[in-house]
Structure formats: structure tokens, C-alpha cells
Copies of this chain bind each other. A is one copy, B any other.
Amino acid sequence: MARRVELIGLEGFPLVKPGDDLGRLIVEVARANGVKIEDGDVVVVSQKVVSKAEGRIVDLRSVRVSREAELLAAMSGKDPALAQVILDEAEEVVKVGRGRIIVRTRQGVVCANAGVDRSNVAGRPDVVSLLPENPDESAARIRERVRELTGRDVAVVITDTYGRPLRRGQVNFAIGLSGLRPFRDYRGTLDLFGYRLRVKRIAVADEVASAAELVMGSGAEGVPVAIIKGLKSELGEGSARELNMPEERWLFR
């Protein structure tokens, strides 16, 4: 009678290296955790392990720094090589302050440092990870690989953790999708009393990302993959790019 959704964080995930078969690792770790992968499960994967598997890591000692990156480094107080990598990942620099470079990435997400990150990457402090080149495609590849290995059709969501302009603290967001609709649409539907709703579209994929974080965790906890059961009504197709607010509709600038 009650609606139930289960969030399961997979323990014991191995360290991921460039070239690793992430779909296979997910299937193997799920099995080791005693978790059965079923049709309609949503597999949530932290961006960090996707980036590592795809070799999206850069050694800052190998970066040639441009004049523009030197300027950005001076303005932000960041390392010039890191500023160069952020610039290379940015479609547009949105805001620069002390210790802070906010950009719109080539993937369309507005976030600090273009998602470029030193944490949980081997080779510190000189090696950083970049966002996956095309996170929707990364999600589709993992989904296809899980289907090959298990015969099950799952949805895959790739997530990363960012701050928010008007709220303190960071939350997990969906940056890549396959098999899950980004939104649940209420437009044109009526409420309990037949009135048009204030809520128009729920960003379900971002809520799924936030929910999964509750069993994933950052830091040394090392839980980069969660399985969510009970979300069949949200399955469908779409791109995480749809979640990015188009720049002409930014309220604050």
C-alpha cells in the first residue's frame, strides 16, 4: 500500500584506473554486496570513477599555461596550471573571485572550477580529474555494458557534487543520464481541488542524485555507486543537459 523506494550503497568498490570496465565492476561489486540487479533499477555512479575509467585525468606538471590562465590564476589565487585546465574545460567564465572560478562547462553545467578536482585521484597533488567528455554517453555505455552482462535494462545516472547560489552546503546533481527522464511533468494537471498546480516540473534526476548521495558519501568512504529500486514510473529517455537553465533565463547574473 505505501510507496517504497530503496537506496543501496555498494561497499568495497575497487580503486578505478584508466581503461577499467566500469559496467563490469558495477555488476561484480553488486554481486559481492548481495544486491541483485533487476529491470528498472537506477544505477547512480559518481562522476569521479567515470572520469578515471575514461582517462579524464591531467598531470598539472604537463600543462602549458597561457596568458589568459595566468590572469585567471592571479584573480582567483589558484595555481596557474589548474586555472589553465579549468579554462580548457569552460565554455564561458561566469564569475571569478578569491579562491573561486565559476564557469559554464562544455557539458553545460554551471559550477565551481569546471568540475576539475584533485580529491580521490592518485598522484596528488599534481594530478586532477576532469568531468567526463559527454556524461550522457558515458551513462549510455555503462547501461549497455550492464545489459550485456546481466540481461537487465537499468537506468544510469552520473552525478557530481556542487554548491548552490542561494543555499549553503553542496548537494549531488545529475550530469549524465540514460534511461531516466530528467523531469516529472505536472504542467496542465490539477491538484486535489481541481486547481492548476504551482509545481510545474519536478527535476527528478537531480532528486535521484541527491537521494543516492545519502548512501554514497564523499571522502574516504569510497562508495561511488548506488542502486535505487522502486523508481519505475520515472524511467524514460532524456538528457541531463535539459537540466541546465538556458543562460537567457538566468535570473541572477
Contact = CB atoms under 8 A, between A and B. Distances in A.
A54 interface: no
- Chain multiplicity (copies): 2
Given A2-B9, A7-B4, A8-B2, A170 B213 contact: no
A19 interface: no
A208 B213 CA distance: 10
Interface in A165-208: 165-173, 182-184, 186, 189-204, 206-208
Contacts of A170: 199-203
Contacts of A184: 217
A25 interface: no
B245 A34 contact: no
Interface residues on A, range: 35 or more
A190 B219 contact: yes
Nearest to A247: B166
A204 to B, nearest CB: 7
Interface stretch (A56-64, A67-75, A112-120, A139-147): A112-120
Given A168-B244, A213-B202, A33 B193 contact: no
A118 B4 contact: no
Interface in A3-55: 3-12, 15, 32-35
Given A3-B8, A5-B6, A6-B4, A117 B198 contact: yes
A83 to B, nearest CB: 16
A164 B253 CA distance: 13
B207 A183 contact: no
A167 B243 contact: yes
A169 B243 contact: yes
